[in-house]
Amino acid sequence: MHEVQDEESQLVLDILWSDPTDSDSDLGITPNYLRDPQESGNIVKFGPDRVHDFLQKNNLSMIIRAHECVMDGFERFAGGSLITVFSATDYCRKHKNAGAILIVKTNL
């Protein structure tokens, strides 16, 4: 799904394909050329400011996400407010990444 036909499909596209920026110092929203090679502008990278804003507006303390290969199997973003977990070790036998699992306890 890469075509945006309405607000709902844009939301699904954002949730599925958008990724955090490369650094906590990169704010706002920027194009995500890796996931959007046709440069439709519908898939983006979001900064830590967007994470904190989303958490506050939705009364949440953390976002846990997957669907992005990260080298150590997990990665913290936005000061630890967002964690990416990727469980497939050596993804597609070419990335040489670690895999991880996340155990969430009541105190996070």
Q: What is the DSSP string of 24-83?
A: TT--SEEE-TTT-TT--S-SEEE-HHHHHHHHHHTT-S-EEE-SS--TTSEEEEGGGTEE
Q: Which amino acid is at 25?
A: S
What pLDDT shows up at residue 23?
93
Give the rounded percent of residues in the chain with a pLDDT score beyond 70: 97
Pairing of strands 82-85, 74-77: antiparallel
Tokens 């949730």, residue?
A: 15
What pLDDT shows up at residue 73?
94
What pLDDT shows up at residue 43?
84
Higher pLDDT, 35 or 97: 97
